[in-house]
Each structure stands twice: as structure tokens, then as C-alpha cells.
Amino acid sequence: MNYKYTSRSVEDTLRVAENIESEKFPNMVICLEGDLGCGKTVFTKGFASALGIEETITSPTFTIIKEYMNGELPLYHMDVYRMESTEEDIGVEDYYNKGGITIIEWADLIESRLPSERLVIKFKVIDEDTRVLVFEPYGEQYEELCNAVL
């Protein structure tokens, strides 16, 4: 079952991220999909601050992955937009089972390398301030999570 949420502001998107964070578990994987500027990094910021991470979250567009170790659980923030053009293989799969939380921007670009159980969130830009978020849980844990918070 899919869930839909209409965000009418940055604050709305931050709040959704905080709500999902409140149901976190180790090895959680969240896949964010949608066009440039749709709010993937905004969502990640909300999640990170709810985790207690004080560092500023910046888009890891050139580094592909940033690790934040000082929150309640480790956060691995990936942006795979440019991954195909980078020489190094960062081994995304190695992060899924390290006990932390993995958030992947542009996850649809690495579909074949995603874990079978995950939460996919698709962002659609409606107008300057409005985004429709479609949640697609894969696996029982993620379905329960969506049930609990959406």
C-alpha cells in the first residue's frame, strides 16, 4: 500500500522526516527520488536533526557519501546523482547492514543496488512551496512504520 502526503512548506517536509525518525531502527534504508530541488536534502536535514546530529547537512553531491557519527544512530547520507561518472566504487551495499541509517538521494539511479527491504519516498513538485510525497514501503518493517506515522 502506498501513502500520500502533501507538504505545503519546508517545515511540513521537516516534520514528516522527524516523524519517520521517531520510528527508526538500525539498518533502516530510505530512498529519496525526485527532480532537482524537490526537497530530498530538506528531508534529510529534518531526519538528521531529529537524530541529534548537530553538524550542518550539506548535499554530498561530489563526495557521494557523508557519514555523521554523533547522533543516536550513525547516518550515512548518499547522493548518487553523479556516481556513474566517478571512478571509484564506493560500495553502497556495505552501508546497509552497519547498524546505522542510510538515506540515498537519487536512489532510482542505482535501483539494482538497493536492498529489497526499504522505504521509497517519491517527491513531486507541484508549485513553489508544494510537494506531494508518495511513500512506498518494501517489507513488513517499513509497512508498519508507514502505518504508524502516516
Ligand X SMILES: Nc1ncnc2c1ncn2[C@@H]1O[C@H](COP(=O)(O)OP(=O)(O)OP(=O)(O)O)[C@@H](O)[C@H]1O
- The span from the CA of 131 to the CA of 11, in Å, is 12
The binder of 21, among Mg ion, ligand X, none, by C-beta within 5 to 8 A per type, is none
Nearest-CA neighbor of 38 among 140, 149, 128? 128
Among the listed residues 28, 29, 30, 38, the single contact to ligand X using CB under 6 A: 38
- The span from the CA of 94 to the CA of 97, in Å, is 7
Contact between 46 and ligand X per CB under 6 A? no
Contact between 129 and ligand X per CB under 6 A? yes
Among the listed residues 30, 42, 75, 114, the single contact to ligand X using CB under 6 A: 42
Nearer to Mg ion, 1 or 36 (CB): 36
- The span from the CA of 8 to the CA of 48, in Å, is 21
DSSP letter (8 states) at residue 93: G
Q: How far is the CB of 14 from ligand X (least distance, A)?
A: 8
Among the listed residues 10, 23, 27, 59, the single contact to Mg ion using CB under 5 A: 59
- Here the cell at position 109 is 539511479
Contact between 40 and Mg ion per CB under 5 A? yes
CA distances from 86 to 48, 64, 94, 103, 139 (A): 26, 9, 18, 19, 31
**Contact residues: Mg ion, CB under 5 A:** 40-41, 59, 105
Where along the sequence are the contacts to ligand X (CB under 6 A)? 7, 9-10, 12-13, 34, 36-42, 59, 79, 105, 129, 131
